[in-house]
Amino acid sequence: MENFYELIQVDSSISQDELKEKLIEAQRKWLGRTNAPDLKRRQDAERKIELLNEAEAILLDPAKRAQYDKELEASKYQFNTEEQSTVDHTNLNADELVDEAWTLLEKGRTADAVVVGKRATEKSSSNPNAWAVLARAHYMWNEFDDAIYEYKKAIDIATNNDVFYYDLSDVYMDHPRLSDAEKINYAEQLIRKALSIKPTERAYHFRLAYLARFKGEYDHAIEILKKLIETHGKDPSLGNELALNYYNKCLMQMYYKEGYYSFISKESAETGLVLLREAKIYATDRDLLESIQTFIDLGENALKTRFLKGRFAGLAIIPVIWLLTALSTGSFINIVISGALLYGAWKISRIPVWKDNFEVHTGKRQQRNQNIAAVLQAMAKK
């Protein structure tokens, strides 16, 4: 039985909200890896996406998740004879053992692949593919340090194999004990090495764009991805990655506080909308599209006008008093003046939403209200 929690690398006690975030993160990661230069890696990534879609359908439904958890717990105590290898490895040579290890990985039998991969390296310690498949098996088994050691062994033997550098970058990027800066640094060095060997490989340029996004270099990532789309056409992995960069670049234009984003200038709202509308063109991921549309609505709303009733009430008190006095005395001039003041109060109380956001977030609104209250108190004393 497939353990979806291990696939997503989370504990089974994780909350629904956290689980959804991790699922989205995993789906985007493996979607990006469908660009891998090697057919086996692409097939592996496609299989992972299928499993993640299945995991999403089950784990995000509370009733289905509860039933799945029960079945998963029960499966730990069941002995599945189908998982046992029926192949006799005794007489296989190193290359045949490598092929067998890859077959086991494709079937999801990672532990068996580790065993066969070890036998392949024992048969021929100078076979780079034996070390590479063993590294891949350890990586899939979440034994990252072993995978690093074995990929380096493969690279030492076959220094011009660009795929080994790419695969080792996978390990560094997913290593749980490395900081984000360390992951990016190691991965970028390896991808640039792979590109020096094979400059036209789409997967390596895509990985550079992916790393650029993590470094906040959105313009650089957008430039790389647009060139890839011009050359290879738009597909879900390229489109969503480009959309993410436009989306994240928009967030940089916005004010963030206590979990909420808002536009606090006309320029940021207009620029943000341009970026978001570009993102919407390329995005196919459902959750990403929903987030983009949410911020588009926010940007469009920021350019609308809001009437501040509280401000108008505060500013209109004096003109109203003057108007009532003028009406009782019949003073035409005072009526005109108080009417103009009321119009001015109405005009001042209609402001763009972005400006309203700015006043609230910078504290200017609170300060103005305090000033108005102080004036009214002074007038009351008189």
Could you read off the pLDDT of 131-157 as tens digits, one per residue? 999 999 999 998 999 999 999 999 999
Residue 158 in domain: no
Give the residue carrying structure tokens 């593919």: 129
Residue 364 in domain: yes
Residue 269 in domain: yes
Residues 293 and 317 grouped into a single domain = no
pLDDT of residue 257: 83
Confidence of residue 367 (pLDDT cuts 50, 70, 90): low
Degrees (nearest 5) of the Cα angle 220, 225, 230? 130
State the distance between the two ends of the chain, measured CA to CA, in whole angstroms. 82
Q: Looking at the whole model, is its pTM more than 0.85?
A: no
pLDDT of residue 170: 94
Residues 251 and 288 grouped into a single domain = yes
Residue 33 in domain: no
pLDDT of residue 80: 46
pLDDT tens-digit readout, 68-83? 988 888 876 554 444 4
Question: What tokens does 210 get?
Answer: 């992916």
With 80 as the cut, is the pLDDT of residue 332 above it?
Answer: no
With 70 as the cut, is the pLDDT of residue 322 above it?
Answer: no
- Kindly state the average pLDDT of the residues 109-121: 94
Residue 240 in domain: yes
Residues 319 and 293 grouped into a single domain = no
Helix (H, G, I), strand (E, B) or coil at 217: coil
Residue 374 in domain: yes
pLDDT of residue 342: 67
Residue 248 in domain: yes
pLDDT of residue 230: 95
Domain boundary among 275, 303, 331: 303
Residue 82 in domain: no
**Among 126, 121, 95, which Cα is nearest to 135's?**
121
Residues 275 and 239 grouped into a single domain = yes
- Element holding 350 (H helix, E strand): strand 350-352
- Kindly state the average pLDDT of the residues 352-372: 74
DSSP summary character for residue 257 = E
Question: What tokens does 337 get?
Answer: 């003046």
With 60 as the cut, is the pLDDT of residue 38 above it?
Answer: yes
Q: How far apart are CA 215 and CA 205, in angstroms?
A: 15
Rg (CA), the chain: 31
Domain boundary among 256, 278, 303: 303
Domain boundary among 265, 282, 303: 303
* Higher pLDDT among residues 100 and 78, named by residue: 100
What average pLDDT does the structure give for the chain?
Answer: 87
Residues 297 and 354 grouped into a single domain = no
Range of the domain at 298: 231-303
Residues 277 and 240 grouped into a single domain = yes
Q: How many domains does the chain have?
A: 2
pLDDT tens-digit readout, 204-215? 999 999 999 999
Residues 236 and 271 grouped into a single domain = yes
Percent of the chain scoring above 90 in pLDDT: 54
pLDDT of residue 79: 43
Residues 312 and 331 grouped into a single domain = yes
Dihedral over Cα of 231, 236, 237, 238: its sign: positive
- Kindly state the average pLDDT of the residues 261-284: 95
Residues 240 and 281 grouped into a single domain = yes
